[in-house]
Amino acid sequence: MPRLEIAADGFRLDDRPFRILSGGLHYFRVHPEQWADRLHKARLLGLNTVETYVPWNLHSPRRGEFRLDAGLDLPHFLELAAAEGLHVLLRPGPYICAEWEGGGLPSWLLTDQDIELRSRDPRFMTALDEYLGQLLAAVRPHLDSTVIAVQLENEYGAYGSDTEYLAESAALLRRHGVDVPLFTCDQPADLARGGLDGVLRTANFGSRVEAGLTELRRHQPEGPLMCSEFWIGWFDRWGGIHVTRDPEDAAADLDRLLAAGASVNIYMLHGGTNFGFTNGANDKGVYRPTATSYDYDALLDEAGDPTPKYEAFRRVIAKYAPVPDEETPAPGTKLAPVRVELTERAGLLDQAQLLGEAVTADRPRTMEELGQSFGFVLYETVLPAAGPVVLRVDQVRDRAQVFVDGQPVGVLERESHEQALAFTAPRPGARLAVLVENQGRVNYGPGIHDRKGLLGEVTLNGEPAAAWTSRPLPLDRLDDLEFSSAGEPAVGPAFHRGQVELEQPADGHLALDGWTKGHVWVNGFALGRYWSRGPQTTLYVPAPVLRAGRNDITVLELHASTTSWVELRDKQGLGPTED
């Protein structure tokens, strides 16, 4: 059984010198039927290891529940890696950042108003203990044989400096059976705050290789040098540009890193997709939600096809390690372009009662209070009189569409720091509805305590409403919706559905030209969010979610569209890049 050891002069595996050549591959961002393909391409690159985070929030959607089904079958992912001859670096959190919703921390932790996440708060540590016990019971058979090292926390130095918290977390890992080496990772400036004596320190950077390694060696005078996140691209945010990095520039830095004798984890080998509602967000004074695509300008694009960066990195790796004597993998088969008419419609406000059960209270309830992680909340109340109304909200988390008797009257956006909206009530007893979207919990910094919905005081002309209903709309299943043939243009949010016949499933990209903002499902599989502000203009459609014969496409458009169709294409559209 191979065992990784940390020696004064570097890593050793089976008592032989060993260099970790790893690539980031998050199983939860890739359809499970495509795991084997991506792992095979990792080996053909010349890698001997892959790295993956573990998203606590998906595995434990509710306290006491632990899922390993379908796309969360981590033991199966580890088995496939072993079958490909790859080791695994496991990064179980509890916090993963990863531009992932809430940094992977489950939203139910936030039901305690004063909880301190990533701390020795007993409520947090008890929950962490439960999570690690469930997770490590499932992966324990793969420790040593496949999983050669486990990360302790994640970039903790950018968040805190409580070494006792790190020590208690390390003790939990050991108590639950982790007997392989532990490691921490931090950006060079945070190495002192984020490390723990007796645990291997590693550094994260994408350039200035010599400076990064020098700082790591300053904090760790002996032992292996490793860059645990060698950033070769970056993520995109809504309203920004598609970020890219020149392949030869990135490959030159990889060459410098390997020439120094360091081990590496390439972030990312394959980025994948923030399917459904799983994207995170950043808030450094302005809230910025991350896009659906996590292409990351990686070595394998969102559909798993090798990019020019893949070949450039393969040439560099071949200078330092054996690379399989096989050709670079060819791009996969793609769908032929086809336009799909969406001929059926179901109004969201009209059918909200089919999607979630309302709770009545004297104030709007947050998503966390409703036991909800993702999606929307529909808040409703009655306007007591006709005439001008000013709606004021302490905090909108994250985007609120406001309706009076079903007619849209405005939008409040967290991103724009908007808190007030004026409109006219047409009659006494008019119905006020506020549809609030969780656009992604903050995944970095102190903002991870990110509750969703209408927070704080909510008033109408300075007075609280007599009563509110709060209806959770997680949109995790749409089976109960009642569709009818599209007739008059939809006013307000509506589901649009159409069918397309396919001879054979293949990867594709769904274009929504002329649509404004919303979400897409294909055969019930949630592809993710779209938004006309870009940069992303298509959504990746994995071949396994399609079938030969009839396929259903459902689009929730929150505003309006200029067309009644969408298009399956053979090319992705990630938007403009910086000159």
Query: Distance between CA 371 and CA 61 in Å, rounded?
Result: 10
* Cis ω for the linkage preceding 398 (within 30 of 0): yes
Grouping H, G, I as helix, E, B as strand and the rest as coil, residue 375 is: coil
| C-alpha distances in Å from residue 543, one per residue of 34, 279, 332, 574 | 9, 21, 10, 19
The total of other beta-carbon atoms located within 10 Å of residue 321's CB is 12
DSSP notation for 269-287: EE--B--TT-B-EEESSSE
**Catalytic hit among 99, 153, 229, 369:** 229
Grouping H, G, I as helix, E, B as strand and the rest as coil, residue 298 is: coil
Grouping H, G, I as helix, E, B as strand and the rest as coil, residue 180 is: coil
β-bridge pairing 147-151 and 182-186: parallel
Q: Which residues contact 47 (CB under 8 A, 6 or more apart)?
A: 21, 22, 23, 86, 266, 269, 317
Q: What is the DSSP letter of 507?
A: B
Q: What is the DSSP letter of 125?
A: H
Encoded amino acid at 90, one letter: L
Query: Distance between CA 462 and CA 464 in Å, rounded?
Result: 7
Beta bridge partners of 529: 519
* Cis ω for the linkage preceding 14 (within 30 of 0): no
Beta bridge partners of 361: 468
Nearest to 443 by CA among 127, 56, 28, 68: 56
Active site residue 248: no
Grouping H, G, I as helix, E, B as strand and the rest as coil, residue 352 is: helix
Spatial contact of 481 and 542, defined as CB atoms under 8 Å apart: no
Query: Distance between CA 555 and CA 535 in Å, rounded?
Result: 19
Instruction: Supply 399's token pair.
Output: 């985007």
Helices (DSSP H) in 148-305: which residue ranges? Answer: 163-175, 191-194, 209-219, 247-259
β-bridge pairing 338-341 and 565-569: antiparallel
Q: Residue 77 half-sphere exposure, CB side, CA atoms within 13 Å?
A: 30
Query: Distance between CA 16 and CA 308 in Å, rounded?
Result: 33
Give the residue carrying structure tokens 């065992």.
Answer: 3
Task: Output b/e per residue, 453-486; b: 16+ Cβ within 10 A.
Answer: bbbeebebeeeebeebbbbbbbbeebeebeeeeb
Query: Distance between CA 516 and CA 555 in Å, rounded?
Result: 11
Instruction: Supply 78's token pair.
Output: 């580890």
Query: Distance between CA 519 and CA 555 in Å, rounded?
Result: 6
Active site residue 578: no
Nearest to 457 by CA among 446, 465, 445: 465
To which H or E segment does residue 523 belong? none
**Catalytic hit among 155, 302, 368, 369:** 155
Active site residues: 155, 229
